[in-house]
A and B are shown apart, each in its own frame.
Chain A
């Protein structure tokens, strides 16, 4: 399922003036946004908070989004990206120690013992990635976005997105 084409057909066929079924849109998009934050950040509780913040912003502005519900997922992810950026920026200002914690050296004993599940192993590997690469992985695998949608969101070319994601996946698999 791809981000731009997997909205239910009934949404895609609605005209710009017909109110969409926001409950169905919510059910469809909530897991994507939530997992984008899970991949993007370290803390599940923060992922829930930022998911809520994203949907509240989108909900308040929903009346301004009538053109193309197929692009709604991209619009929602654009909001999520900005919310994540704000959160990271604030954390860098207010909690530099936490930031240092997140990028500590790989392979430390406490890391190995504490993170036994695959999910936690992956989260540890993601934490070592540069910010831009981690965001691309979060969009691709957390939110399930296509390379084209990621290109629209980030301003990178589609081929550039594919190249970077491929290289990062290779690196992660080597360390897995």
Chain B
């Protein structure tokens, strides 16, 4: 097949254009400093970590020991709960609590998970993740997919330590809750499936779509998990009656509690696909307006999604609803 005529449109870029573009690229700062992380962005980025911390205190109720030795938790629903960031500040500044070792010293293995690997296509990333990755069919104007990464599967376990948990309650002045002694020395194992991260960029901001199979938490039967959930809610700032009401309306076996800073952010439930999701936006500002940021969390068919960035929730929600 003679197709030489199809090369007739090829041209080298104008040297002046090539030079100018190269200069512009060199003038761009590295990604880490090109977009300074605002407090809101830092919060969005650590939301998952906070949620994991919430896991530790909001584990599902166990079935009877006669039924099974282990009980399992999978994320199906998300529930927001407002917390007062000042309580966390109070905890951090407490001289009686070393918050950095509260969980860390009980985690095995302590080594971080392997770094994520970049891929050039969704298909390659799907193969690496062992699942079909889904992408939005709608993007805000100017955004394009610029990065695909998959983090490897990893597993770790957390060992209960009643003494440390009691010290946290004491530091916050919560005196009407008792940590169940049966928790001490008990091991909870957490399995994280491969996590895929797609980054969309418009040259100024990024929107990140994260998707993974639901993490699976296996815990020994016999621990009074319901009271742990109550402790978790109290730590987040709910009073005794609120914590009780919350605990009664949530299916702890399948609901991930997401703490939302009450002063700077709002949240509400939305319909995403065939399920219910949670939208969080920094829409309630005190003082000067801060940067816009939003996060949508939802699950579908055993896959958990988080989509967030420094854009309004109308954009992230529309993107989320277009994910196929």
Contact = CB atoms under 8 A, between A and B. Distances in A.
Interface in B39-87: none
Nearest to A176: B5
Interface stretch (A6-14, A79-87, A102-110): A79-87
A83 B199 CA distance: 14
A72 to B, nearest CB: 7
Contacts, number: 130
Contacts of B199: 61, 64
Contacts of A58: 146
A55 B25 contact: yes
B21 A72 contact: no
B30 to A, nearest CB: 6
* Residues of B in contact with A, size category: 35 or more
A35 to B, nearest CB: 5
A71 B117 CA distance: 13
A53 B6 contact: no
Interface stretch (B12-20, B185-193, B241-249, B253-261): B12-20
Contact of B120 (A26, A51, A62, A74): A74
A108 to B, nearest CB: 20
A88 interface: no
Contacts of B8: 117-119, 121-122
Contacts of A141: 3, 6-7, 9-10
B236 to A, nearest CB: 33
A84 to B, nearest CB: 9
A64 B149 contact: yes
Nearest to B143: A86
Given A26-B22, A141-B6, A48 B13 contact: yes
Contacts of A170: 1
A64 B147 contact: yes
B176 interface: no
Interface residues of A, number: 56
Contacts of A53: 203
Contact of B201 (A39, A61, A155): A61
B210 to A, nearest CB: 14
B111 to A, nearest CB: 18
B213 to A, nearest CB: 22
B144 interface: yes
B98 to A, nearest CB: 33
B201 A57 contact: yes
A78 interface: yes
Given A26-B25, A59-B28, A137-B6, A152 B144 contact: no
A98 interface: no
Contacts of A86: 139, 141-144
Nearest to B124: A152
Contacts of A137: 6
Nearest to B144: A82
Interface of B: 1-3, 5-14, 17-18, 21-22, 24-25, 28, 30-32, 34, 117-124, 139, 141-147, 149, 199, 201, 203
Which 6 pairs between the two chains have the least Cβ-Cβ distance?
A: A82-B144, A118-B8, A75-B120, A71-B120, A74-B120, A61-B146
Interface of A: 23, 26, 30-31, 34-35, 38-39, 48, 51-53, 55-68, 71-72, 74-75, 78-79, 82-83, 85-86, 90, 117-119, 121-123, 126, 137, 141-142, 152-153, 155, 166, 169-170, 172-173, 176
Given A35-B10, A60-B28, A122-B9, 12 more contacts: A34-B13, A35-B11, A56-B24, A57-B203, A67-B118, A74-B120, A79-B145, A83-B144, A118-B5, A152-B123, A153-B121, A155-B122
24 contacts: A26-B25, A31-B13, A34-B12, A35-B10, A38-B11, A48-B13, A60-B34, A60-B203, A61-B146, A61-B199, A61-B201, A62-B31, A64-B147, A65-B147, A67-B117, A67-B118, A71-B124, A72-B120, A75-B120, A86-B141, A117-B8, A123-B9, A152-B123, A169-B1
